[in-house]
C-alpha cells in the first residue's frame, strides 16, 4: 500500500485539527488524583533543581577546592625557601 504525499499531509492536518479542537470532557478528577498530579509535578520540579545543583555546584566546588589547595602549596613552598638552612 502506497500513500501519496498529499494524502499524508491531509491526514496530518486533520489529526492536528482534531487534537487542537475544543471538546467537552465529561470527566471528574477526584481529590486523590489531583493531589497525586500536584505531588508528581512538585517532585519533577525538585528533580530538575537538584540535578542542576549537582551538575553545576559540585564541579565548581571541586575546582575551587583544587585552586585553593594549589595556592596553599605555593605558600608553603615560598615559606620553606625563606628559612635558613
The SS3 of residue 77 is helix
In the chain, where are the structural domains located?
47-85
Q: Which three cell numbers stand for residue 17?
A: 485539527
Percent of the chain with pLDDT over 90: 20
Q: Which of 52, 84, 65, 33 is nearest to 44 (CA)?
A: 52
pTM exceeding 0.85: no
Determine the average pLDDT of the residues in 52-81. Answer: 75
Determine the average pLDDT of the residues in 49-68. Answer: 87
- Report the C-alpha gap between 69 and 83 in whole angstroms: 22
Return the pLDDT at 20.
87
Q: What is the dihedral of CA 26, 30, 31, 33, to 10 degrees?
A: -100
Return the pLDDT at 69.
80
Amino acid at each position: 500500500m502506497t500513500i501519496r504525499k498529499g494524502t499524508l499531509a491531509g491526514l496530518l492536518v486533520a489529526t492536528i485539527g482534531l487534537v487542537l479542537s475544543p471538546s467537552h470532557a465529561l470527566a471528574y478528577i477526584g481529590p486523590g488524583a489531583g493531589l497525586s498530579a500536584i505531588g508528581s509535578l512538585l517532585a519533577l520540579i525538585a528533580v530538575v533543581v537538584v540535578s542542576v545543583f549537582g551538575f553545576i555546584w559540585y564541579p565548581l566546588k571541586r575546582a575551587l577546592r583544587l585552586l585553593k589547595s594549589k595556592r596553599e602549596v605555593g605558600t608553603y613552598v615560598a615559606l620553606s625557601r625563606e628559612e635558613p638552612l
